[in-house]
Structure 1
Amino acid sequence: MHIAYGILAALLAAFYLYAGGKKTVQSRDALRPMMGWVDQVPMPLVRAIGVLEVLGAAGLVLPPLTGIAPWLAVAAAVGLALIQIGGIAVHLSRGEARVIGLNIGLLAAAAAAAWLGTSWL
């Protein structure tokens, strides 16, 4: 289970470092082509989501690697799952049901990481 967690956590961390990093540093105009929802959300909230995604990515990887507070990996995975639930809600409220596939996949992956992460405890 540790190998499965490591692979899944690395993939999720890479995705969230990229996506969260973009939300953290790029302008609304730069984000708009890939994330149309940024027009309806205040930029401080977009930045906060980006920071949470980057912290979640670190939380998935660092605790198991260092052996310090391994329960944080489970908490990070749960937090990332909650972000995806929020993303699904935003897309559905905008009538974008066809684009929630990525959110559902990321939600399932984060839930699997939370379950696999319990093996570190």
Structure 2
Amino acid sequence: MNVALWVAAGLLAAIALAGGITKTVVPKAKLAAAAGGEWTGRAPAGFIKALGVLEILAAAGLILPAVLDIAPVMVPVTAACWIVLMIGAMLTHLRDDGWKFALVNLVYLALAVFVAWGRFGPHSFS
């Protein structure tokens, strides 16, 4: 189970890092033109960049606290925050793009629930 939790956290971290870098580096117009990125056309550029930075921090928070053994409780806390973020992403995609991208976010949400449950509960780092 520990390996499955590490794999899930690693996948979420990779997803968060890729999304965060994209939102912080790619221009708003290019994001808005991409499939699934239509919502960025209506969002302020500062919000998009801030969201990208939060995703990069989430990537770090899902892995580094446990690897460095510095406040490893931050792993499930970060997973719980990712759950909230994915609920917002699902609602946004349902409003703008339809169900296809919302289903992708649902998979990410399920991974985050698994990590939060496992690391807060039976397989915590303490």
Q: Aligned partners of 1:11, 1:82: CA distance in 2, in Å?
A: 17
* Regions of 4+ moved over 4 Å: none
The alignment partner of 2:71 has SS state of coil
Deviation, 1:107, is: 0.7
For 2:56, the equivalent position in structure 1 comes to: 54
The CA RMSD measured in Å over matched residues stands at: 1.4
What are structure 2's unaligned runs of at least 5 residues? Answer: none
Aligned to 2:93: 91
Unaligned residue ranges in structure 1 (runs of 5+): none
TM superposition shift of 1:95: 5.9
How far is the alpha carbon of 1:98 from its aligned partner?
3.6
Pairs aligned (count): 121
Q: Which residue in the other structure is 1:112 paired with? A: 114
TM-score by length of 2: 0.88
CA-to-aligned-CA distance 1:68-89 (integer Å, 9 cap, x gap): 1011001111111111111111
Q: Deviations over 1:23-47 (max 9, x none)?
A: 0111012212141110121111111
> More displaced, 89-98 or 100-109?
89-98
- TM-score normalized by structure 1? 0.92
The residue aligned with 1:76 is: 78
